[in-house]
Amino acid sequence: MFIKPMNGQTVMLPDGGVLPTDGQEVTATQYWLRRLYDGDVCEVQALEALPPHSPVSLAEKKTIKPKTKEIQP
């Protein structure tokens, strides 16, 4: 599961390190489930699991011309 600290808290890793503020993939052990239950961390969708965003080039965009009324004198 991918977790992040809640509200900028400092959350310790089981090995003595600190959970990065941008989150980390961890195994769902009793330690992490307890942190989740206590509200120290929240489970989020990992960036790798999100669909990639592909930028649209200008050539792919359709140009829409507004309809204008011709004014006759």
- The whole-number pLDDT of residue 45 equals 80
Domain boundary assignment for the chain: 2-49
3-state SS of 1-24?
Answer: CEEEEHHHCCCECCCCCECCCCCE
- The whole-number pLDDT of residue 34 equals 95
pTM: 0.60
- Residue 50 CA to residue 7 CA, distance in Å, equals 23
Per residue of the chain (73 residues), give pLDDT as tens. Answer: 999 999 889 999 999 999 999 899 999 999 999 999 999 999 988 655 455 555 554 444 445 555 556 666 6
